[in-house]
Amino acid sequence: MQTLAELWTLLNRLNKFSFKVNTDNESVTGWQGEGQGLIKRRGNMASVSDDIELGAVVETIERGDYYVTADRKVSMQNQYLWQFEGDHIRLTHLRFGWDNPVFLFDIIENGLGELVTRQSHQCAADNYDASFVLYADNLMMQWRIQGPKKREVLDYIYSV
């Protein structure tokens, strides 16, 4: 069984990421490719042996490169705020900065030993969901994006 506490502990150890974007024939974005980069963290993180305080936050800043094709590289950055709320972890995207956060979703334990989103994130006409699988030294996070123009799956591997 995967728990929110295990996810929280792992979040505080991750240092790098890689991802692959897959689209189906109905997606018109052209965002198929791979990327990788490093993660920096700041916040009031609990160590492995500490109790996790309600409201504890971690900010993760991902910087790296996205290879749309072998010869086309795009610099990329994501900034997230993770907040431990006891029965869920809230994920917010800070793409517009701290003054204009974008709530994505709450991560919950679904009763089947899985960590999933409580609800989809709606961005314009697109629906974003995610699922999470934890291992000792890495986190696999799969984003599924569905909309009239997007049919994408992003497979992220975050590691220590």
> At 60, which CATH number?
2.40.128
CA 150/CA 142 separation, integer angstroms? 15
Domain count, the chain: 1
* Structural domain harbouring 144: 4-159
- Chain segment 90-133, per-residue pLDDT in tens: 999 998 988 999 999 999 998 888 899 999 989 888 999 999 99
- Specify the DSSP class assigned to residue 51: P
Measuring CA to CA, which residue among 52, 61, 42, 43 is closest to residue 8?
52
pLDDT for 48: 44
